[in-house]
Structure 1
């Protein structure tokens, strides 16, 4: 198992099958909070759903097609972050993330995104990273805005979640922009 240290109390690591119960409980405890903006809580109905997700992400990791990591703080699983895909041909990826409500405000997502940005540009030699967030999800949108991503557009009615259509803002960051900071 590999880990990326993000501060003295926190790290990122590839999720393992034995993490499925912790992952499920975190999602279940935050179902309404996360489900306001993301679809996966409505599809995570039992521990086996979390196990299947972890198995899929480990296969994607092995193929270098994208993967999800657990965000750990004081040895507690507090959220997840990952590359939705890794497009080697076009040299780009998209980062997604979520955090349990009780762990917000500690800078964990910002620090985690920085780790994935550096990894994408340094290890995978990608040229561009995208982040998408629901237009009304100000907390999620604040991350790419703070890190220098450029707003590239808005996709109308991108997703249908909890009985409403959500627009999505797409942010982009090029390697040259990140390195010039």
Structure 2
């Protein structure tokens, strides 16, 4: 298995696989309310079997080249993750997403991890467009999109029914030429 360092604070990005279902469930349990504020991710893993099934769905996506999931570990503890929910080779477009438990918030972990997977999507897999869809009330995730240099394209009004409420979804994106330019400026 590989691990990519996310900085000097002991944070790493690693594949998140079905055999890690118990660890994943413990992580979700620690942050269930926080993670579940805007996304149904926390509702999907309620026991080891459902956690394993969720992770298996991403293993299947990876095998079919249609999605991927990675965990963020801090000092050896799984605290969040990033994923490609949608991965469409034909169109050259994908949708990245994230989640994090509250103990790890405010450290820039998601921004650093998202930067790694977007680099991979653009440079290695030659994706042209990376989207970031986020509930309009999810300020933390919107701030990640901003830090990544994404452009807010618009709002899908009341498009996401969740917990009995219809949420507006903001669509953010970065195109490969923009990403390369942003990364070149960061390297100067």
Superposition TM-score, scaled by structure 2 size = 0.92
Give 1:180 shift.
Answer: 1.4
CA RMSD of aligned residues (A): 1.2
Find out whether 1:74 has 2:75 as its counterpart. Answer: yes
Corresponding residue pairs, total: 181
Residue in 1 aligned with 2:185?
Answer: none
Give 1:20 shift.
Answer: 0.8
Residue in 2 aligned with 1:2?
Answer: 2
* Other structure's SS at 2:168 match: strand
Give 1:88 shift.
Answer: 0.9
Give 1:146 shift.
Answer: 1.4
* Other structure's SS at 2:6 match: strand
Give 1:29 shift.
Answer: 2.0
* Other structure's SS at 2:43 match: helix
In the alignment, the residues of structure 2 paired with residue 63 and residue 12 of structure 1 have an alpha-carbon distance, to the nearest angstrom, of: 22
* Other structure's SS at 1:36 match: coil
Residue in 2 aligned with 1:12?
Answer: 13
Residue in 1 aligned with 2:65?
Answer: 64
Find out whether 1:132 has 2:137 as its counterpart. Answer: no
In the alignment, the residues of structure 2 paired with residue 159 and residue 17 of structure 1 have an alpha-carbon distance, to the nearest angstrom, of: 28
Question: 4+ runs of 1 displaced by more than 3 Å?
Answer: none
Give 1:4 shift.
Answer: 2.3
Moved more, 5-14 or 93-102: 5-14
Residue in 2 aligned with 1:89?
Answer: 90
In the alignment, the residues of structure 1 paired with residue 112 and residue 78 of structure 2 have an alpha-carbon distance, to the nearest angstrom, of: 15
Kept after mapping to 1: 8 A contact 2:44/2:54:
no
Give 1:165 shift.
Answer: 1.0
For residues 58-92 of structure 1, what are the alpha-carbon distances to aligned partners after superposition, in whole Å with 9 as ceiling and x for unaligned? 12112221111111111110011111121111101
In the alignment, the residues of structure 2 paired with residue 158 and residue 23 of structure 1 have an alpha-carbon distance, to the nearest angstrom, of: 29
Unpaired runs of 5+ residues, structure 2, are 183-188
In the alignment, the residues of structure 1 paired with residue 80 and residue 120 of structure 2 have an alpha-carbon distance, to the nearest angstrom, of: 19
Moved more, 165-174 or 5-14: 5-14
Residue in 2 aligned with 1:174?
Answer: 175
Unpaired runs of 5+ residues, structure 1, are none
1:103-142 to 2 correspondences below 5 Å: 103-142=104-143
Moved more, 12-21 or 80-89: 12-21
Give 1:43 shift.
Answer: 2.7
Kept after mapping to 2: 8 A contact 1:2/1:13:
yes
